Amino acid sequence: FPGQGDFDLARFTARVIESGYTGPLSLEIFNDGFRAAPTAIPAADGHRSLLYLEELTRARLARDGRAPGADQPLFAPPAPPAHVGFQFIEFAVDAQAAATVGEWLGRGG
């Protein structure tokens, strides 16, 4: 999937878009493990990876002083929310680990 491996796929995709390509981006899965798995998991992973690729490609084009045209919209995620602190943390532990985790948390006050 895009984002895995060393090949700079965002750079390649940016060059393809600059050449005038306006078609869809898609994945072809050759991995037998993915093909054997239930389809929902690889489909969700593939969708996330394509959104990530579009985000990286948009950033690459912007860095190069080019913006994608209206005919090639690329995913632009919203800005991350501001972190304002923790209000709640939940730990799920088995009985054996409960004493250890309780002791560890007790040290923090």
What pTM did the predictor assign?
A: 0.66
Burial 38-55 (b: 16+ CB within 10 A, else e): eeeebeebbeebbbbbbb
Domain boundaries of the chain, sorted by first residue:
9-78
Tokens at residue 10, please?
A: 């965002």
How far apart, in whole angstroms, are the C-alpha atoms of residue 100 and residue 58? 47
Which residue bears the tokens 């004493």?
99
Q: How far from 105 is each of 13, 21, 86, 91, 97, CA to CA, in Å?
A: 48, 55, 15, 11, 12
Sequential pLDDT tens for the chain (109 residues)? 888 889 999 999 999 999 989 888 998 888 888 788 888 988 899 999 999 999 999 999 989 888 777 667 888 888 888 888 888 888 899 988 999 998 988 888 7
